[in-house]
Structure 1
Amino acid sequence: MIPRRRYALCLLLMVITPAYSQVKKKIRSYEKILQFSLFPGISTNGIESGSYYNKFSFNLFGGLSAGNRILELGSLVNVNLKESTGIQIAGLANIVGANAYVNLSQSEERALINAEDFQANTKGIQFAGLLNFVRNNTQGIQFAGMLNVVGGDIKGFQFAGIGNSAGNNTGGTSSGIQIAGFYNIAKEGMGGFQISSLFNYTDGNFAGFQLGAINKARTMMGKKSTPPTRARSLQIGLVNFSKAMDGWQIGLVNFGGDMRGKQIALINFFHNYPLKEYSRMGTPIGLLNFGSSGSYLSVSYNELFSANVEYTTGNCLNCTWTQSTMPFAGRNQIYNQNALIAGYDAARKTWGFGYGFQKVLYNKNSMLPTDTNNKKRVIHYGLKFLHLNRDLSFDKAFNVLTRLNFDYGKRWRWLYVFAGVSVNYFLHDVEDSEDTYKIGSKKFDAGNLFGHKAEVWPGYSFGLQF
């Protein structure tokens, strides 16, 4: 049995404690229409200016207040401890959330720390010669000669001579436009534009457009993203990075990671293993593609040269993680292949080189890895672009051949035997005679284009694929 005194004491504590824990210390703050300030602490609001919210504030050198409502002007610095709305214009810096605990007692400071809804935010427009700083979130426009720094998210526009940065303490996603001379950072995620001369970065989801020498986004959103989304993403730069890319990368070198989108570059890097989801992989378009699958070597004879060699790099569009790698749906296993092409004719002493993009289809008979009827047939189709040389030296005269081809082949032992047809469109100098380029097919005049002579002809090819 519990003694009566102890029972009564426990009951009293159960009643009193919840009621006491719900009490919150009210923070002192005052509203003022107008403030004039010489320096922080020397103003019409006295030494406790950090407790005042002003509708209008005019600071000769610098001003300090709890917040700004409509307009704040300062020749050097404007400092708001808690929040700002409206317009701030400063010769050097606008700072929101510099020290939110000034002029508070210890109990008031603790109450402010424990208030989960407290944030030092700004809504409006900030102009500064050097720096705009906001401790938490910003909605509106920031212009700075050097830096815009936001500790949380931005929703709006940032323009800076050197750099813009947002997000490291909220876990949210910024949205809007960042334009800077050197760099833009939206750490937790970005939806919008990032444009700079050097570096654009987000460590979260990215939807929008990055333009800079180096662009990096952890996840680029697109139509194949999981879960599905209407968001789209694009990177244009010298070097582009992404760990999971479902958008477009256009540059000199692209790093796509789990690539479901499209890469266009001289060199592309991506993972070569299939996704463990019901989703197609992306398309790499480039001279060299690292992470390739489905590469092949072919030798052939056609109306251009007696010996042609092609080597391809690329990826599989619909391969699965099953043992056979065959797709669950569809009759063909589809590969995207980039071909490096060289041709030579010993009798005519001519040669040529070029690049092509090919879709390669292998038939699917079943999902069984032991099914010998899988990949018994192959189809190539796509575009090839070649430069033809009239002799064994490099021909500096302008000419470009566009070749639309279709090839069909059958597997014989460990290689494929194929035959193909093509339609050829050839642009070259108008001064060239009929026999300047030795083509083994009937040519037809197609007029002139951009000051160059155009010809078309039907083509053919026979070859082996290894």
Structure 2
Amino acid sequence: MKNYTLCKVKAIFISLFLLGSSFVSFGQGDSTAAVHFGFIFPLSTNGRHAAQYTNRFSLHAIAGLSKAETGLAIAGAANVVRQNVSGIQIAGAANVIGGSAAGVQIAGAANVIGKSASGVQIAGFSNIIKDHASGAQIAGFMNLAGSAGPAQVAGFTNITKGNAKGLQIAGFLNKAQDVNAQVSGFANIARNVKGIQLAGLINIADTSDYPIAIFNFIKSGEKSVAVSLDETMTTIASFRSGGRVLYGIAGVGYNFKDDRKDLYALEAGLGGHISLAKSLRLNVEAVSHSLTDFKGSHYFKNSLRILPALKIGQRFEIFAGPTINYVTYEREDNFDFVKKHIWKNNKSEDFQGVYFGFNTGIQIIL
């Protein structure tokens, strides 16, 4: 039975070899093949001269080697192409292309392209493109390119040595020179950003008008340190950083109203500047704020602030304005900072309420 199966496999391979050979044509120092079948170099229909062939269709059990591919190439482990490819290349592990790629490259681990790429590259781990990637790159871990086009999406990081004309989305980090937009779970780094820069923690750029993160280090933007007071007698020292329009807020403080326990404050949020006059602007802020004694008592407040701000000289700015606040805390803590609410949930296990308040302070522009 085993001998019969082995003979059958040999017969299939010999048939494929003869079929591939029948479609081979020879030119001046160049060879083309309609089909290329094999296991691994040099066990294929193109034999030990496989690196000199341009193929329209390639199918290899393990790995295929060719000069160029113009149609469909499929390999169990790897497609290795010395020059250019077009069409579709699918490999269980890697597509390694010495020249340029046009079309679609799909690999279980990596697509490695020695020059430029257009179309779509999809890899379980990484897409590595030396020059310009004018299509879309999708990788489970990393996209690395000389410059990028419409989109780069990676589970961990996108790194582009030059410009990225489209959108970069990464689970951890994006890095480029000039870019349209960046979205990451931790940090974005760029030179000039036309659109938004959205990060879980940090944005860094020379120019970025719309950074969205807690910390934004924008060379053309603004950074300030502020001290503020609200209706609960909580004083906050905060750091604001951002671009011409949007900025992030991070602060710590202390509550002076509750004399039963020491309550420490933390706040984080986002804000936007609306210019009204040369020295007058409106700061609109959305902030999450919490008080805790670090022993089990917690007071949570989400606020929308409308803060007219007057600039005094080049460094100082004073601000004050109304806020609308949503608060929640355990009823047994009995935080009675505010007596009047415009809405209260009397049926919930925890206290929930909405009320109007205020916020005022002064900041130093760094």
Equivalent residue runs for 1:436-451 within 5 Å: 436-447=334-345
Residues 1:402 and 2:302 are matched in the alignment: yes
Mapped partners of 1:343, 1:196: distance in 2: 39
SS state at 2:335 partner = coil
Residues 1:93 and 2:42 are matched in the alignment: no
Alpha-carbon offset, residue 124 of structure 1:
1.7
Structure 1, residues 8-38: CA drift from partner, whole Å, max 9, x if none? xxxxxxxxxxxxxxxxxxxxxxxxxx98289
Mapped partners of 1:134, 1:68: distance in 2: 14
TM-score, L = length of structure 2:
0.75
Equivalent residue runs for 1:41-80 within 5 Å: 51-60=30-39, 61-62=43-44, 63=46, 64=50, 65-69=52-56, 71-80=57-66
CA gap of 1:454–1:49, structure 2 versus 1, over 3 A, is farther
CA gap of 1:340–1:208, structure 2 versus 1, over 3 A, is same
Alpha-carbon offset, residue 456 of structure 1:
2.3
Structure 1, residues 41-94: CA drift from partner, whole Å, max 9, x if none? x9676999973211122235243142112x22233443322x322211234432
CA gap of 1:159–1:451, structure 2 versus 1, over 3 A, is farther
CA contact (8 A) 1:59 1:78 kept: yes
- In structure 2, what is the equivalent of residue 175 of structure 1? 135
- In structure 1, what is the equivalent of residue 239 of structure 2? 312
CA gap of 1:214–1:427, structure 2 versus 1, over 3 A, is same
CA contact (8 A) 1:404 1:422 kept: yes
CA gap of 1:344–1:202, structure 2 versus 1, over 3 A, is same
Unaligned stretches of 5+ in structure 2?
1-14
CA contact (8 A) 1:93 1:131 kept: yes
The residue type paired with residue 175 of structure 2 is K
Mapped partners of 1:183, 1:358: distance in 2: 32
CA contact (8 A) 2:208 2:244 kept: no
SS state at 1:204 partner = coil
Structure 1, residues 337-389: CA drift from partner, whole Å, max 9, x if none? 62525242267345341325445667645xxxxxxxxx3x5655433332234
Alpha-carbon offset, residue 450 of structure 1:
8.1
Alpha-carbon offset, residue 315 of structure 1:
4.0
Which of 179, 193, 199 is matched with 1:250 structurally? Answer: 199
Which of 216, 226, 248 is matched with 1:297 structurally? Answer: 226
- In structure 2, what is the equivalent of residue 240 of structure 1? 188
- In structure 1, what is the equivalent of residue 7 of structure 2? none
Alpha-carbon offset, residue 173 of structure 1:
4.0
Alpha-carbon offset, residue 317 of structure 1:
1.8
CA gap of 1:90–1:358, structure 2 versus 1, over 3 A, is closer
Mapped partners of 2:311, 2:210: distance in 1: 31
- In structure 2, what is the equivalent of residue 353 of structure 1? 265
Task: State which drifts further: 337-346 or 202-211.
Answer: 337-346
The residue type paired with residue 179 of structure 1 is A
Unaligned stretches of 5+ in structure 1?
1-33, 99-119, 222-232, 274-280, 282-291, 319-334, 366-374
SS state at 2:232 partner = coil
Which of 121, 128, 135 is matched with 2:91 structurally? Answer: 128
- In structure 2, what is the equivalent of residue 388 of structure 1? 291
CA contact (8 A) 1:37 1:59 kept: no
The residue type paired with residue 135 of structure 2 is S
CA contact (8 A) 2:212 2:247 kept: no
CA gap of 1:208–1:406, structure 2 versus 1, over 3 A, is closer
Mapped partners of 1:239, 1:315: distance in 2: 14
Aligned length: 336
CA gap of 1:378–1:245, structure 2 versus 1, over 3 A, is closer
- Larger strand percent: 2
CA contact (8 A) 1:140 1:155 kept: yes
Query: Alignment identity in percent?
Result: 21
SS state at 1:386 partner = strand
RMSD, aligned CA: 3.8
Mapped partners of 2:90, 2:236: distance in 1: 62
- In structure 1, what is the equivalent of residue 4 of structure 2? none
Which of 173, 184, 192 is matched with 2:151 structurally? Answer: 192
The residue type paired with residue 175 of structure 1 is G
CA gap of 1:139–1:449, structure 2 versus 1, over 3 A, is farther
State the structure with more CA Rg.
Answer: 1
- In structure 2, what is the equivalent of residue 152 of structure 1? 115
SS state at 1:394 partner = coil
Structure 1, residues 161-185: CA drift from partner, whole Å, max 9, x if none? 44221133xxx442123324x4222
CA gap of 1:396–1:176, structure 2 versus 1, over 3 A, is same
Mapped partners of 1:309, 1:131: distance in 2: 54
Q: Which has the higher contact order (CA 8 A, sep 6+)?
A: 2
Mapped partners of 1:437, 1:384: distance in 2: 20
Which of 159, 162, 172 is matched with 1:201 structurally? Answer: 159
The residue type paired with residue 67 of structure 1 is T
TM-score, L = length of structure 1:
0.60
- In structure 2, what is the equivalent of residue 338 of structure 1? 249
Residues 1:270 and 2:218 are matched in the alignment: yes
- In structure 2, what is the equivalent of residue 453 of structure 1? 351
Alpha-carbon offset, residue 270 of structure 1:
2.2
